Structure 1
Amino acid sequence: MQTEGGNTVSTNIVEQPAEHGVSPNSDAGFTIDETLAQAVQSGNIPGVVAMAATRDNVVYEGAYGQSGEEQSVQVSADSMFWIASMSKPITSIAAMQLLEQNKLQLDRPIGELLPELANPQVLEGFATDGRPLMRPAKGPITLRQLLTHTSGFGYAFGEAQLLKYVQKEAIPDVTTCTPNAFRLPLMFDPGERWHYGISLDWVGKVIEAASGQRLEEYFQQHIFGPLGMVDTTFAPTSERRERLMPMHARLPDGSLQPIPFELPEDPEFYLAGGGLFGTARDYLKLLQMILNEGTFNGLQILRPETVRLMAQNHIGDLQAGKMTSAMPELTQDVEFFPGMEKRWGLGYLINTEATPEGRSAGSLGWAGLANTYFWVDPARQVTGVIMTQILPFADPAMMEVFNQFEAGVYRQLDA
């Protein structure tokens, strides 16, 4: 993937054997191993796990770097990561399971299920005395709009006006997992445009209301358990926390510094849009299920027609994927595939053209704030995931590693 605004750099690949990458294809895999090893050895990234698979087989697995307080723990396929917004596709899958059971509908006003969304308000600006200027939204919010980020909700870190509102009204950050964090206005009328935000956190509340289960319980019973995603959870145990790769900040001089990072261990609500922790190995199973149109290891998670529905464009001619930053310590301004029209399905970004790395038009993908990324290519029947823990999002060094990893996977397929 390329980002605009100069956010790409080159990673030099040196001719030396990989230390501990695993590659069924020695030629193409060797190149991927070198890319990952050199990125870690040079200090460009603190550690990385990358995996790729076809419908039936894992075709690449590599892990490089050290973690732990003393940097003494080897990064491995079982290393834990905060996957942040890579939680969103999982939440979307859960919502679609309930849609299959007729417990949810895509286009009914969601306020019928969640009264707190029955009368949404739009932020129009601020009065001269600083008071927020609000008006009623012109129409109701629907589940489809929540799933496609066209509801009007945003993130304070991605919108200056919303950040001003949050500061003025003393709204806690959504990562506090407290009910008051949801007291955000809409930035525009539902359906008017695409804007990334807390919509999927609201979908988490929708799932709980429709299923009668708390989100962790629902996910474990209906997604993680059936798929064998043994480590993915909103509430990591102490053993899993010992395997958690530390968070790092990219400093102005380009160096990396470990920083503290925690989400509440016993939250008032689970952060459906960004609260999950897990492993690359677990996430690859989810992606293989998507490749297999809803089935993995003989168990059906979704119907094939539901998987195909999720992969279709659901925002019409609206453009998706371009995001600005009001908090550069968390994310840079970023646009995946600049110059290309992007659409959004029910859970993923859709690229409408083939990419330089080899991804087919109509593929699916997304990412997490701490620089975790995935893609699913139904046409080529391949999927991949790569994870590190760096802030801000769209880190240039990690984006370049992702680009090279993805390109290497396609070279391996073509070999």
Structure 2
Amino acid sequence: MTNEAQLTQAIENADLPGATAIIVDREGVRFSGAWGHADAKAGTPMKLDTICQIASMTKALVSVAAMQLAEQGKLSLDGPIGDVLPELADPQVLEGFDDDGAPILRPAVRQITLRHLLSHTSGLGYFFVHPQILKYFSATGAPVPGTKAAITMPLMFDPGDKWEYSVATDWVGLAVEAVTGGDLQSYLTEYILKPLGMTHTAFRPEPVEGSAKVHVRGPGGDWAYSPMYLGGGEFQSGGGGLSSTAPDYARFLQMVLRGGELDGKRILSEESIAEMSRNQIGDLRAGYMGSAMPDLAPPFDNFPDQHTGWGLGFLINPEPVEGGRSANSLAWAGIFNSYYWIDPAAGIAGVFISQLSPFGDPGAMSGFQALERLAYSS
């Protein structure tokens, strides 16, 4: 069986509603494919250019936007981000809860910086990952999803002390808006999406016709739909609001592989790409996510046997993967079971997009791993 056939077999065995995948190198596309359905109940085929919610894969693009502005001196990596975002100017750390369930807070020992936000060491969290954040919102009043109130919370620890996945990149997107005077979509379109030819990538207030449904497995194996949609809301979510296609996202990956340039368009300097690709968190370990809502995202750790690091927007594996990516490759994912990696050493990157909940689906992971094996098989 060829490696391409093994990938197809892995996707079929995974019982996914549908998937798209692309492998690129620095010069172009090596492989692309689409399988299954964008809407499994209606029988609508999944196509390579089907628009899907890419969720937290949004973070990498918004991180690049912030680094562009850091290059221009409009944002500082290490100055207090509260100078740009007053909401983060007086951070409070959640120490626990009193006997009545009220939060106990204290001032943080240092200010939050853009570097903290990009490296997920700010102390912020996610309500679906961290039980203490969920308890805090239960005590103070559950905010409406998609509002600024939903990302406004005390810190779980002093900035820089730990790594915890968080809403930080939502605040990065708001920082981009604060220093440019426009909305995040406008900035991304002018300085990243349009130059890269990513014509199908956008914050969409509601799903467009023909876009893929997010599926959940119902009783008896029947497909049902998840109502979760991340594109709308009070603000454009830099942490997860974009929808896109596999070909669009592959263009972004190729730009990173090429050190910040694609088709003669320089998006970011080689020095900034190198900084984003460097471990920023010292001896801390990144990548493990607990769970406060396992029906949405159970505990997850993509490299349980490695002391993974984090750059300015990416997970970094310090050791090579047998039959796959090199050491110091970059990666992350989206909550609807989409995944990517970027391997600068080998000059290879890949993206796998499906629309399935909850996150970390074993079948989707096996499909993504088969894609990675295919990428390194020749």
Scaled by the length of structure 2, the TM-score of the pair is 0.96
1:242 to 184, 196, 209: 209
Instruction: Select between 242-251 and 59-68 the one with higher mean Cα deviation.
Output: 242-251
- 2:224 pairs with 230, 251, 257, which one? 257
Q: Structure 1 residues 247-256 or 338-347, which shifts more?
A: 247-256
* Aligned residue pairs, count: 378
CA distance in 2 between partners of 1:160 and 1:237 (Å): 29
Q: What does residue 30 of structure 1 align with?
A: 5
Answer yes or no: is 1:95 the counterpart of 2:66. Answer: yes
**Partner SS, residue 387 of structure 1:** strand
- 8 A contact 1:323–1:334 mirrored in 2: yes
Distance in structure 2 (CA, Å) of the matches to 1:246 and 1:344: 31
Which moves more between the two structures, 247-256 or 298-307? 247-256
Matching of residues 247-326 of structure 1 within 5 Å: 247-251=214-218, 256-263=223-230, 265=232, 267-326=233-292
Partner-residue secondary structure (3-state), 1:124:
strand
- Amino acid of the structure 1 residue aligned with 2:194: G
Residues 43-90 of structure 1: CA deviation (Å, up to 9, x unaligned): x11100010010012011010112337523211111111111000001
Residue 134 of structure 1 corresponds to which residue in structure 2? 105
Q: Give yes or no for the alignment of 1:356 onto 2:331.
A: no
Q: For each residue in 1:153-206, what CA deviation from the matched residue of structure 2 results, as whole angstroms up to 9, or x when unmatched?
A: 000111111101112212325xx3222223211000000000001000110111
In the alignment, structure 2 segments of 5+ residues that lack a partner are none
Higher alpha-carbon deviation: 311-320 or 351-360: 351-360
State the alpha-carbon separation in 1 of the partners of residues 164 and 155 from structure 2.
10
- 8 Å contact kept, 1:349–1:366: yes
Give the unaligned 5+ runs of structure 1.
1-14, 16-26
2:342 to 359, 376, 392: 376
The structure-2 alpha-carbon separation of the partners of 1:69 and 1:377, relative to structure 1 and needing over 3 Å to count, comes to closer
Q: C-alpha displacement at 1:242, in angstroms?
A: 1.9
User: Conserved in 2, the CA contact under 8 Å of 1:29 and 1:60?
Assistant: no
> Which residue does 2:29 correspond to in 1?
58
Q: Which aligned runs of 4 or more in structure 1 are off by greater than 4 angstroms?
A: 251-256
Q: Does 1:168 align with 2:135?
A: no
The 1:84–1:278 alpha-carbon spacing in structure 2 relative to 1, beyond 3 Å, is same
1:109 is the counterpart of 2:80: yes
1:188 corresponds to which residue? 157
Quickly say closer, same or farther: Cα 1:341–1:171, change in 2 above 3 A. Answer: same
Distance in 1 (alpha carbons) for counterparts of 2:202 and 2:278? 28
**Residue type at the aligned position of 2:364:** M
> In the TM superposition, what is the alpha-carbon distance from 1:358 to its structure 2 partner?
1.4
* 8 Å contact kept, 2:226–2:357: no
Residue 261 of structure 1 deviates from its aligned partner by 3.1
Question: Are 1:39 and 2:13 matched, yes or no?
Answer: yes
Q: Which amino acid is 2:179 matched to?
A: A
Q: Which residue of the partner structure matches residue 205 of structure 1?
A: 174
Counterpart in 2 of 1:338?
304
Alpha-carbon separation, structure 1, partners of 2:199 and 2:47: 15
Cα distance, 1:312 vs structure 2: 0.4
The one-letter amino acid of 2:4's match is G
Cα drift, residue 392 of structure 1: 1.1
SS in 2 for 1:196: coil
Equivalent residues of 2:127, 2:134 under 8 A apart: yes
Paired position in structure 1 for 2:360: 394
- Distance, in Å, in 2 between the alignment partners of 1:396 and 1:250 is 13
Following the alignment from structure 2 to structure 1, what is the Cα–Cα distance between the partners of residues 142 and 190? 33
| Residue identity (%) | 45
CA contact (8 A) 2:119 2:310 kept: yes
Give the superposition deviation at 1:123: 0.7
- Return the match for 1:77 from 48, 54, 57: 48
Mapped to 2, the partners of 1:256 and 1:322 lie a distance apart of 29
Instruction: Provide the rounded CA distance (Å) in 1 between the counterparts of 2:98 and 2:209.
Output: 49
Q: Distance in 2 between matches of 1:101 and 1:234?
A: 25
Structure 2 CA distance for partners of 1:254 and 1:319, relative to 1, 3 Å: farther
Deviation at 1:407, TM superposition (A): 0.9
Deviation of the 1:252 alpha carbon: 7.5
Counterpart Cα distance in 2 of 1:112 and 1:67: 44
* Shift of residue 397, structure 1, vs aligned partner: 1.1
Q: d(CA) in 1 for partners of 2:340 and 2:37?
A: 22
Among 129, 138, 158, which residue is 1:158 paired with?
129
Against the structure 1 CA distance between its residues 49 and 165, is the aligned structure 2 distance closer, same or farther, given a 3 Å change threshold?
same
After superposition, the C-alpha distances for 1:24-52 in whole angstroms (9 at most, x for unaligned) are xxx4333333333x236xxx111000100
Deviation at 1:356, TM superposition (A): 2.5
Q: Show CA shifts across 1:347-386 (max 9, x none).
A: 1000000012411000000000010000000011000000
Superposition TM-score, scaled by structure 1 size = 0.88
Structure 1 residues 167 and 251, CA gap change in structure 2 (3 angstroms): farther
**How many Å separate the matches in 2 of 1:85 and 1:67?**
20
SS of aligned partner of 2:202? coil
Q: Which amino acid aligns with 2:291?
A: S
1:18 maps to which residue?
none
